[in-house]
Amino acid sequence: MEINAENMLFDQLNAAVKASNDKKIIIKNVLGQRYIGSGAENKEIVIYGVAGNALGAYLSNTDIKVYGNAQDATGDTMNSGSITVYGHAGDTIGYAMRGGTVMVEGDAGFRVGIHMKEYGKHIPKIIVGGKTGDFLGEYQAGGIILVLGIGYENECPVGAFCATGQYGGKIYIRTRHMPRDLPPQVDVKTNADKSEILPLIKEYCSCFGADFNSLSKDEYMLLTPSTSNIYKRLYCNRSM
Amino acid sequence: MAINYLQPDYEVVRNNDRCIRCRVCERQCANEVHFFDEKRNQMLADETKCVNCHRCVTLCPTRALKIVKTDHCFKPSANYTESIIKDIYAQADTGGVLLSSMGTPKEYPVYWDKMLINASQVTNPSIDPLREPMETRTYLGKKCEDVSYDKTGKLMIRHYPGLQLETPIMFSAMSYGSISKNAHECLARAAEELGIYYNTGEGGLNEDFYKYGKNTIVQVASGRFGVHERYLNAGAAIEIKIGQGAKPGIGGHLPGAKIGADVAKTRMIPEGSDAISPAPHHDIYSIEDLRQLVFSLKEATDYKKPVIVKIAAVHNIAAIASGIARSGADIIAIDGFRGGTGAAPTRIRDNVGIPIELALASVDERLREEGIRSNVSVVAGGSVRSSADVVKAIALGADAVYIATPALLALGCHLCRSCHTGKCNWGIATQKPELYKRLNPEIGYKRLVNLVTAWTHEIKEMMGGMGINSIEALRGNRLMLRGIGLTQKELDILGIKHAGE
């Protein structure tokens, strides 16, 4: 099914998407309509234009492709499936996601992967081709964030306060430059083992046509939390 | 070794003539206060560990035990009180933030107790609820405001998604993790039998409890634990937790020690990992952002579920509530600062926020002034302790109330305020199997049903006395309240007259 989103409000557009029994839905002329694919299950959604906030929130088993940019909160609390953005993405992408993959060809904004978590086999992944803003992986509790930093080889491709409050999961960054203002509870490993991320790099390259050979040869920095109980020592347990 | 300056708060008094050395007290105490001295053939107690939860007292078969407040004292001072001194010692020992549970024990004014309810005499006769129908059924959600007719003259009413309560009382949010699975089962089953709702709190919904979905409110907090499409659609309503009365501006830290296999599965996080819900939702910085979360939840549930926004009662509550009423939310839940908690920093619990009575009155007033009262229902919580408090809350403008501490008391809680230790001897605020099995859901849920049924009957009696036969007619009916011993300012905020006026 194909929908022309021109002059459609978000609720009209999303009602049209929901009303369709087709597995594959193509939406053209999208101009910032919010919540596309929110709560969607077992669909394939292709978007041309700029997808609005909360694209694919609470997503399950659905693949979304955006030919254009995505705004904030892409993949909010996403459960499974994939969101692929052939462009840039805004802030808080992958907020509290616990499964599936969000892949951004270009740059992403602040607080990417905040509260990202994992459970058992549900290990979410966020791959950003370019750079990210401040607070990458804030409160991260699980999953893998990979920042390739393509085009930002001479600087650290993540903003300040990366991994603040991180207590689980892993952040890989293709860089030799130390991120600014790292919090004390984070362990940094330079030139980290890549076996876990090679399939992700490959996936990125096959989607966006980047050079796997050169990306896979480079050095990656790995950030992990030193403890999963970051507040244990904060409290005094006297009953009052 | 450093000297421990902290002396026990309580003394375990054992009547050795009555004690039969059965050692029940020893087995029942998870804090390991009691122990048996073989040589002396006598039970002894380490009072430093006692939290005064009465488990041993209650189960002692010969009534040989009592716990008393120690009369060991510091030199009395009205300024540097015993508790202040002990807090300082504890912090000097540990360097830690003081942690507390349940509602504040401090002596703040309880406005419920400074309001009196009206009754009819001679004119507008009172109603006998045993003989005449009294309506306690309540609907929560946005109400249709404008009247329009179709071509045939038939009234067209737009229905918004809402909740139907058989009595205006709901069990407020307590997460699986902060309280036990058995405690949740009690709440869920009681809600089902009573035709009301319980609230999952922010810890997700255990698979075994999906069957109570039509009496469940599912909560979404900043950590989004256990939130997914099926969870959102499982309940009758979705609550966005912005704040909690006992700890406004503070998030939740469930320690890894409480995250066993089942809690981990429900929250969908690894076992033993902390579960951190920071105070802010990091995608909400404005009413517009809140609106975005409200609508992403509505989109994910096809606009079939009402969305509740729960906030702590704080200084600018009326303006905040006005914003929420315009955000697309259907229900605002306001939690007063005397409300309970499974764990909160003591200084926050005891010093931050405002009483629910004042918050409720000012919110109801503001929403009316702005003509948006019917956009939302208002649920009041945070120390609603009795049916009289319920009646007063509704007369001040609440559509329904949230209760939690009374529900826990019904389940056997003795308000020892030690939930954060995870060693609840009553099987409520614990994840230890040997402890939570002490709470029998079969008995527990009936006690909750008893409590709410009793309150409902008392509400009917009080309404009948006023000559009112429905909650609808009581709501916001502030003429039914009079203040006692309140200043003019307090009366103005509550919107009531003084007794005698």
Q: Is residue A165 part of a domain?
A: yes
Tally of domains in chain A: 1
Is pLDDT at A240 greater than 80 in this prediction? no
Q: Is residue A206 part of a domain?
A: yes
- Predicted confidence (pLDDT) per residue in A163-197, tens digit: 998 989 999 999 999 999 999 889 999 999 999 99
pLDDT at A221: 97
Q: Is residue A82 part of a domain?
A: no
Chain A residues touching B295 at Cβ < 8 A: 10, 34-35
Mutate which of A43, A77, A123 to disrupt the B interface (most B C-beta within 10 Å)?
A: A77
Work out how many CB contacts closer than 8 A connect A with B.
158
Is pLDDT at B315 greater than 70 in this prediction? yes
- pLDDT, mean over chain A: 94
Residue of A nearest to B53 (CA): A239
Residue A237 confidence class, pLDDT cut points 50, 70, 90: low
Contact across the interface for B416 and A239, Cβ inside 8 Å = yes
Section B44-62 average pLDDT: 96
Is pLDDT at A52 greater than 80 in this prediction? yes
Is pLDDT at B1 greater than 60 in this prediction? no
C-alpha distance across the termini of chain B, in Å: 65
Q: Which two tokens stand for residue B405?
A: 């501490």
Is pLDDT at A30 greater than 60 in this prediction? yes
Contact across the interface for B283 and A76, Cβ inside 8 Å = yes
DSSP SS3 for B436: helix
- Which CATH number fits the domain B138-474, given the four candidates 3.40.50.2000, 3.40.50.150, 3.20.20.70, 3.40.50.620? 3.20.20.70
Is pLDDT at A55 greater than 90 in this prediction? yes
Contact across the interface for B273 and A228, Cβ inside 8 Å = yes
Which class in CATH covers the domain with range B10-96? alpha beta
Is pLDDT at B256 greater than 90 in this prediction? no
Which range is least confidently modeled, A21-30, A88-97, B139-148, B175-184? B139-148
CA distance B145 to B306: 17
Chain B residues touching A18 at Cβ < 8 A: 302
Chain B residues touching A230 at Cβ < 8 A: 274, 276
CA distance B218 to B191: 14
pLDDT at B4: 87
H helices present in B30-180, as ranges: 55-59, 82-94
Q: Is residue A2 part of a domain?
A: no
- When CB atoms are compared, the residue of B96, B101, B223 closest to A234 is B96
- When CB atoms are compared, the residue of A10, A11, A117 closest to B269 is A117
The proportion of chain B whose per-residue pLDDT surpasses 70, expressed as a percent, equals 100
| Residue A225 CB-half CA count within 13 A | 22
Q: Is residue A73 part of a domain?
A: no
B469 close to B463: Cβ distance less than 8 angstroms: yes
Q: Which of B479, B471, B82, B435 is nearest to B260 (CA)?
A: B435
Is pLDDT at A19 greater than 60 in this prediction? yes
Section B274-299 average pLDDT: 90
- Predicted confidence (pLDDT) per residue in B65-115, tens digit: 999 999 999 999 999 999 999 999 999 998 999 989 999 999 999 999 999
Is pLDDT at B318 greater than 70 in this prediction? yes
pLDDT at B260: 87
pLDDT at A230: 67
- Chain A: give the shortest CA distance to residue B254, in Å: 9
CATH number at residue A147: 2.160.20.60
User: Which helix (H) or strand (E) element contains residue B489?
Assistant: helix B488-494
Residue of A nearest to B231 (CA): A58
CA distance A233 to A225: 15
Q: Which domain range does residue A137 map to? A: 88-227
- Chain A: give the shortest CA distance to residue B226, in Å: 9
Mutate which of B250, B268, B271 to disrupt the A interface (most A C-beta within 10 Å)?
A: B268
Q: Which of B53, B68, B55, B69 is nearest to B15 (CA)?
A: B68
Contact across the interface for A236 and B300, Cβ inside 8 Å = no
B113-122 b/e (C-beta count within 10 Å ≥ 16 → b): ebbbbbeeee
Q: Which residues, in sequence order, are CB contacts of A72 under 8 Å at separation 6+?
A: A53, A54, A90, A91, A92, A93, A109, B283
Mutate which of B50, B299, B424, B425 to disrupt the A interface (most A C-beta within 10 Å)?
A: B299
Q: Is residue A22 part of a domain?
A: no
Q: Is residue A49 part of a domain?
A: no
Strands (E), chain A: 2-4, 24-31, 44-50, 62-67, 81-85, 101-104, 125-128, 141-147, 168-173, 186-189, 221-225, 235-236
Question: Where do the domains of chain B lie?
Answer: 10-96, 138-474
**CB-based burial label for A161 (10 Å; 0-12, 13-18, 19+):** buried
What's phi and psi for A53, nearest 5 deg?
-60, 155
- Predicted confidence (pLDDT) per residue in B434-482, tens digit: 999 999 999 999 999 999 999 999 999 999 999 999 999 999 999 999 9
pLDDT at B47: 94
- Predicted confidence (pLDDT) per residue in B344-394, tens digit: 999 999 999 999 999 999 999 999 999 999 999 999 999 999 999 999 999
Residue A239 confidence class, pLDDT cut points 50, 70, 90: low
Is pLDDT at A109 greater than 70 in this prediction? yes
- pLDDT, mean over chain B: 94
Residue of A nearest to B271 (CA): A119
Contact across the interface for B94 and A122, Cβ inside 8 Å = no
Is pLDDT at B172 greater than 90 in this prediction? yes
Section A136-151 average pLDDT: 96
